[in-house]
Amino acid sequence: MSTVTLGRTGIVSNKNAFGALPIQRVSPDYAGKLLRKAYDAGITFFDTARSYSDSEEKMGLALADVRDKIVIATKTPSTTVEGFWKDLETSLRLLKTDYIDIYQFHNPSFCPKPGDGTGLYEAMLEAKAQGKIRFIGLTNHRIHVAQEAVESGLYDTLQFPFCYLATDKDIALVNLCKEKNVGFICMKGLSGGLITNSAAAYAWQAQFDNTLPIWGVQRENELDEFISYMENPPSMDDPAIKAVIDKDRKELIGNFCRACGYCMPCPVGITINQCARMSQLIRRSPSANWLTPESQAMMMKVEDCLECGQCKSKCPYGLDTPTLLKQNLTDYKDILSGKTVI
């Protein structure tokens, strides 16, 4: 079983970590079943967030009795000291624990530091002094913020999108973390659902000895796939794996929506993080799922776009979101009319 050490934290985990964002979409009983099955199979690293509605509560209910055998990472989106402490106390209560292993600032627009006037980093230090957190982390989608955090020496871990669609800058960030002894936690290992071959995703991640991918799990069959790789890991030596990755990189790298959702909400109710990538979704998963009356209504909502630019200004990847929405709507209409056959 392949393992990774998260930098100076010394935390050792196998290359499968459980991403608990999706369990907010399933019942408590089903979430508990997934979490316990993961634990029983040897998965010991669980990542959640205060922003993931009831994910923390479900995790607490399922795993409280094995707390000393697992690693819990959670996050606060708060930009105030008061909100920081409120989030931390809420997370501790819901997770049924008296400490968090890795407490992370959740996608801040800047890198919190001592003396920056916000008091946020000082709150982290106080929480650590009180024994309520063990290590300080930061999650982000903005590479300049991520780089600053790693270079600062203030953070024990970084969580950042990383998958086989990564750019040279993304890989350089992974190498920088290794150089600075900062643990690198990979989110978006399946690129928000655009990568549909989990074996290829796993094999590519296995090339990096300092990264820990957290796989977002919502269904038991998804979990079963990742569990199977612990004993029988797919390899980049497999020509079929290489072919999948090469094909996806040609089709997906560049100007595409990662579905991070930071552009939301839209003032006119457009589901931006779905509509801006519909051309990929409809070709990379069963198309019938995206041709329902509900999906058609969702896409036609793009016609109400005000071109206010809010989504564009919020995109951490610098995408021209209004243009992407228009392009995806045009393509969708062509599919509906039969002009484009998929």
Tens-place pLDDT, residues 4-20: 999 999 999 999 999 99
Residue 239 host element (H or E): helix 239-252
pLDDT category, 284, cuts 50, 70, 90? confident
Is it the case that residue 134 has pLDDT exceeding 80? yes
Q: What is the pLDDT of residues 174-226, one digit of tens each?
A: 999 999 999 999 999 999 888 999 999 999 999 999 999 999 989 999 999 99
Any idea what DSSP says for residue 64? G
Percent of the chain with pLDDT over 90: 89
52 as an active site residue: the answer is yes
pLDDT digits (tens, 9 = 90+) for 28-38: 999 999 999 99
User: In this predicted model, what pLDDT tens digit does every residue of 298-317 receive, in sequence order?
Assistant: 999 999 999 999 999 999 88
Write out the two tokens for 333.
Answer: 């209409």
Task: With a cut of 80, say whether residue 255 has pLDDT above it.
Answer: no
At 267, which amino acid appears?
Answer: P
Distances in whole angstroms, Cα of residue 30 to Cα of each of 25, 36, 37, 286: 10, 10, 11, 24
Which has the closest alpha carbon to 116: 166, 159, 154? 154
The confidence score (pLDDT) of residue 267 equals 96
Amino acid present at 309:
G
Catalytic residue among 39, 52, 103, 121: 52
State pTM to two decimals.
0.90
Phi, psi of 133 (to 5 degrees): -135, 155
pLDDT of 296 over the 80 cut: yes
From first CA to last CA, the distance across the chain in angstroms is: 40
Q: Are residues 203 and 178 in contact, defined by beta-carbon separation less than 8 angstroms? A: no
Q: Which residue has the higher pLDDT, 260 or 102?
A: 102
Contact indicator for 190, 213 with CB cutoff of 8 Å: no
Torsion 10-12-16-17 (CA) sign: negative
Instruction: Outline where 153-213 has alpha helix (H).
Output: 168-180, 198-205
Map out the domains of the chain with their CATH numbers: 3-246 (3.20.20.100), 272-337 (no CATH)
230 has a pLDDT exceeding 80 = yes
Q: Are 14 and 44 in contact (CB under 8 A)?
A: yes
CA dist., res. 125 & res. 249, Å (int): 41
Average pLDDT on 317-330 reads 94
Rounded to whole angstroms, the Cα distance separating 56 from 20 reads: 8
What residues are paired with 12 via a beta bridge?
5
| 278 neighbors 290 (Cβ within 8 angstroms) | yes
Half-sphere exposure of 103 (CA within 13 A, CB side): 27
Residue 45's SS3 state is: strand
